[in-house]
Amino acid sequence: MTTIKLVQNDTAPDIDVALTDESDGSQINVSNAGDVIRLYFRRIGTTVLKATIVATKPTGGADGLVRFAWGATDLDTAGEYQGEIDITFNSGKKQSVYDVLNFSVRSQVG
């Protein structure tokens, strides 16, 4: 799996993810205003969350495209991290994306 490489203390780039159904490759429609998508971000080897980031839907969500924007302290510590995406649909049903995202945050030089 690909590792997303970032730099300590940055707040960019945003992370765009296309949510798809693994069984048939179709887009997961998250266009309902009540559909909430979160990225749970933690350092590898720990159980403590570093951040919980709520996604925006830059194209409305019908196409499954969501965007996660880093907060000011989300990337303040260099290290190796994992992220799990969780969808809570307006109906109350919950779906976690099976594959985790891997992140490497290197120390800032300047």
Q: Read off the pLDDT of residues 34-89 as tens digits, 9 standing for 90 and up.
A: 999 999 999 999 999 999 999 999 999 999 999 999 999 999 999 999 999 999 99
Q: Is the pLDDT of residue 23 over 90?
A: no
Of the candidates 47, 25, 24, 31, which has an alpha carbon nearest to the alpha carbon of residue 87? 31
pLDDT at 22: 86
Give exposure, 15-36, as e/b (b: 16+ Cβ within 10 Å).
bebebeeeeeeeebebeeeebe
Assess if CATH 2.60.40.3350 describes domain 3-106: yes
pLDDT at 59: 97
What is the residue extent of each domain of the chain? 3-106
Instruction: Please spell the DSSP secondary structure of 43-54, one letter per residue.
Output: ETT--SEEEEEE
